[in-house]
Amino acid sequence: MTPLPPAGRVRRAGLSAVLCAGLTMALGACGEDPDAGTNGVGKLSAEEIETKARTAADAAASVRLSGTLVSKGGTYKLNMRLKHDGGTGSLTSKENAFELLRIGDTLFLKADAGFWSHADGDEDKEPSESDLEAAKKLADKYVKVPKGDPSYKQFRGFTDMDVLLDGLLGMEGELSKGDRTRVGGVRTIKVTAGEGGRGGVLDVSLEGKPYPLQFTRAGGAGVLTLGDWDKDFPLAEPSKGETVDYGKQLPKSSEQSS
């Protein structure tokens, strides 16, 4: 007959088994691959991730770009849908809000009377009667921006996908990999530039194509969200009743002078 082990020894053996099992589970969890089920860009270097994101953005047919832009002229809220042959959306500042629509080389601007009433760009100056009359005619109409107007290039830039992405997504300083996080429910990995991300922070998708999904601009110059990549949308010219052709040059608004 085999003698039974003392009760203390049995308890110690049981406890040991439980601890070993728990330790094994913990080690297994710690050893899980954080890139499992992702597109794999999280395994790359910061420079390679940024390049992948740029390549994906350059190859995309369309994007929605929204967020804030901070400049010497103030803070602007941007909400644009863009593709290579045009774009549509809005810009809002403390003083004014206006909409832009571009189809090919044809550019329209839509704003309220307040936008148009300060023809000389001076917000502190009371508009003249002629300014007010002109503003009433232009208010809430799609005003065709002449190509020869000084503001054409400036306004068109906000509707140009390539120009806007190149101009707004610049990073300054040495790149490094940051934390894995989520943007809009999508898993991302951060790429930071400069010390503490002062040169910009880019969140790149770990799901599907490695599109940039959020960008914190260098020097506190705003935060932008990028979405609806490669989702097409219609662009159509407004009806004749909604448009005004002002001629060869627009009146100079406060936004144009900033």
11-67 pLDDT per residue, tens: 554 554 544 445 444 444 455 788 889 999 999 999 999 999 999 999 999 999 999
Does the structure show a pLDDT above 60 at 241?
yes
Q: Specify if 251 maps to a domain.
A: no
What is the pLDDT, as a whole number, of residue 2?
A: 46
HSE (side-chain half, CA atoms, 13 Å) at 234: 3
Does the structure show a pLDDT above 60 at 214?
yes
61-109 pLDDT per residue, tens: 999 999 999 987 789 999 999 999 999 999 998 888 999 999 999 999 9
pTM of structure: 0.79
Number of domains in the chain: 1
What is the pLDDT, as a whole number, of residue 135?
A: 83
Lay out the sheet containing 175-183: strands in order across.
175-183, 186-193, 201-205, 212-216, 223-227, 62-71, 74-83, 86-92, 97-103, 106-111, 142-144, 243-245
Least confident of 130-134, 145-149, 176-180: 130-134
Q: Which domain holds residue 224?
A: 41-245
% of the chain at pLDDT higher than 70: 79
Q: Specify if 226 maps to a domain.
A: yes
Amino acid at 146: P
CATH number of residue 184's parent domain? 2.50.20.20
Q: Specify if 235 maps to a domain.
A: yes
What is the pLDDT, as a whole number, of residue 23?
A: 45
Q: Residue 203 — pLDDT band, cuts 50, 70, 90?
A: very high
Compute the mean pLDDT over every residue in the chain, rounded to the nearest whole number: 84
Q: Specify if 75 maps to a domain.
A: yes
Q: Specify if 231 maps to a domain.
A: yes
Does the structure show a pLDDT above 50 at 4?
no
Does the structure show a pLDDT above 90 at 111?
yes
Which distant-in-sequence residues (6+ apart) come within 8 Å of 213 by Cβ? 183, 184, 186, 188, 203, 204, 205, 225, 226, 227
Q: Specify if 238 maps to a domain.
A: yes
